[in-house]
Amino acid sequence: MASRIASGLLRRRAGATLGLLRSYTHVRNYSSQLSALVPVGAQCSKLTRRRYYMPNASPYQLWSRSFASDNGDKVEAVVPFMGESVTDGTLANFLKKPGDRVEADEPIAQIETDKVTIDVASPEAGVIEKFIASEGDTVTPGTKVAIISKSDQPAETHVAPSEEATPKESSPPRVEAKPKVEEKAPKVEPPKVQAPKPTTTPSKTSPSEPQLPPKERERRVPMPRLRKRIANRLKDSQNTFAMLTTFNEVDMTNLMNLRSDYKDEFVTKHGVKLGLMSCFVKAAVSALQNQPIVNAVIDGDDIIYRDYIDVSVAVGTSKGLVVPVIRDTDTMNFADIEKGINSLAKKANEGALSIDDMAGGTFTISNGGVYGSLISTPIINPPQSAILGMHSIVQRPVVVDGNILARPMMYLALTYDHRLIDGREAVFFLRRIKDVVEDPRRLLLDI
């Protein structure tokens, strides 16, 4: 008797094992996309990019389930990683509409952060079915933005009948509303006789009415996150630093003659034009090496001296002022600096700057002269201690060897943190820049 029971149990276990094996085999045959075989009854989540969902189920349920709907018919576009120091952003605008065809990695929306603008790309080719998020929403990495169907048929036919039905349904009430207005019209006539009484009150308030702003001619729009960030940083800079500005002027004659003499040979050899910024960057590097306190920064009760020179160059764009960084400028020549400036300026205008392009920086140069500024007092870019302001080149009469001559002159402004930098160091620093720009041969001789 015991042997019969044991043999029966063995047959049952063997049958169950055979059923499991058949189920696994069937799952393997129908889910060739799966990267690994999942035990029966396990809670499965996103196994592959095509997102297979298999909740707790028996082997036979898995065996009988159709894998056509689980074969990645729809995918989701999510907000990508935005950088180490960026935790969220604002969904600025959609680049596509529901029903549009998109390719893999094609941008469909833009996320505006405190520093850069990031694209949300389609994970695969298909048709945008709908947007989950809305413009102006605050989103974080991983937030779902859109659902994309891999089928080539956009679901637009369901929208047209609803749009056509609404005006037809709303048209009968409009016809009924007209007689009601006409019936009430005679009842409104008696109050018109009392109109002279309220006319006296507007005459009393009439002097104040022209002073009110015309609300119908104003527009209120949300402030972009980049503009908020700029405003907060500038105000924090004013509240933190003891800012003082010193001025000087520089004769641009020798530098402009140097450019005109070697501009063609410079382009032929290096493939980039010789501009003014490279000379000012090299002059700033020389001045920072002579006055290392200007390259330092206050951190609490300490002073951090930095033995490297990363120059930030302010670039104005349509979305606001950005300050990308040229790194290790103390090891660069004129051509390397010009190539770095051109590359960063192009990325800034295209909105392709990354967080790494603007992180760091020990000293900033701002060239307001390209917009025609004659003189200004720039604001320090935290966490730096000084900023150099360049301005427009203007022909002015100057005294040279006892003679009054017309020379191309530029005003220079150095704003510095007076808590750390004394006036003596600031004046010596700006004087060094003036000497190098007026006679670039000093850089060759290191004098």
Catalytic residues: 418, 422
Q: Helix, strand, or coil here: 411?
A: strand
* Beta carbons of 329 and 309 less than 8 angstroms apart: yes
Q: In this structure, what is the dihedral angle of CA atoms 214, 216, 218, 219, given to the nearest 10 degrees?
A: 160
- Give the whole-angstrom CA distance, residue 286 versus residue 279: 11
Q: Give, in order, the Cα–Cα distances in Å from 368 to each of 314, 386, 420.
A: 9, 16, 26
Selection from 130, 118, 123 nearest residue 92 by Cα: 118
Alpha helix stretches (DSSP H) within 241-297: 253-270, 276-290
- Give the whole-angstrom CA distance, residue 94 versus residue 218: 25
Q: And the tokens for 310?
A: 């990363």
Q: Helix, strand, or coil here: 57?
A: coil
Q: Is the peptide bond before 39 cis (omega within 30 degrees of 0)?
A: no
> In Å, how far from its chain's centre is CA 406?
45
Longest dimension (CA), the chain: 130
In a 10 Å sphere around its CB, with 0-12 CB exposed, 13-18 middle and 19+ buried, how is residue 233 labelled? middle
E strand spans, 186-335: 243-251, 297-299, 302-304, 311-313, 315-317, 320-322, 325-326
User: How many other C-beta atoms can be found within 10 angstroms of the C-beta atom of residue 364?
Assistant: 22
* Beta carbons of 260 and 305 less than 8 angstroms apart: no
- Give the whole-angstrom CA distance, residue 202 versus residue 184: 27
E strand spans, 141-296: 144-149, 243-251
* Beta carbons of 309 and 332 less than 8 angstroms apart: no
